[in-house]
Amino acid sequence: MAKNGVDLLGWEMVVNRATNASADIKHYQALVFSKTNLTPFTDFDSLITDYNSALDKLQGFMKSDGKKMIQAGKNKEADDAAGQNNFKGK
3-class SS of residue 87 = coil
How high is the pLDDT of residue 89? Answer: 61
Question: Where do the structural domains in the chain lie, given as residue ranges?
Answer: 8-88
Q: What is the pLDDT of residue 88?
A: 63
Question: Could you give the angle at the alpha carbon of 35 between the alpha carbons of 38 and 48, nearest 5°?
Answer: 60
Give the residue with greater pLDDT, 43 vs 70.
70
Residue 69: band (very low, low, confident or very high) from pLDDT cuts 50, 70, 90: very high
The arithmetic mean of pLDDT across residues 37-49, rounded, is: 85
Distance of CA 15 to the CA centre of its chain: 8
pLDDT for position 53: 97
pTM above 0.85, yes or no: no
DSSP string, 55-68: HHHHHHHHHHHHHH
